[in-house]
Amino acid sequence: SQRCQELGEQISRDYEGQIPLMVGVLNGAMVFMSDLLRCISIPVEIDSIAVSSYGKRAHSGDLKFCKDLNNEVKGKHVVFIEDIVDTGKTLKAVCELFASRGAASIAICTLLDKKARRAVEGLEIRYMGFDCPNEFIVGYGIDYAERYRNLPYVAALKSSVYE
């Protein structure tokens, strides 16, 4: 899409002369990440994490990694690729953890930013595809109960499906 191309060009300019580590947050980011990576013109490293938080307040100690990075993060410029950021609690905790692991820098790239649900301060989204209304969204990698990820578009789910 045009927005992926624009984000890819911006990332390529921002990391010129460096090799950023692009980290997909599974499973939702898979579709967006694959499209985005093809729009980046500089060399990159690719990895992924699958993480959840438990407890009401997500802190780095509350994270459960179903899949952690395969590679060392120390000294690398990490760009987390997300499908959608809403409360931001888990993502902020992940960023804090990666900073403690010695990442040279950390940035976030998300397809959709649902600011109305943000529950943390100081979470900077450097690369954003689109603002997202406060609705339940599916498609293009985003699921409801592991369904609808394969839709080739983003759509709001009817409330009758999840209420």
Q: What is the torsional sign of CA 101, 106, 112, 113? A: positive
Q: Which one of the listed residues 35, 83, 86, 113 is annotated catalytic?
A: 86
Neighbours of 141 (CB within 10 A): 25
Q: What is the torsional sign of CA 125, 127, 133, 138? A: negative
Catalytic residue flag (residue 86): yes
| Residue carrying the six token digits 């690729």 | 81
Cβ(142)–Cβ(154) below 8 Å: yes
**Residue positions annotated with a catalytic role:** 86
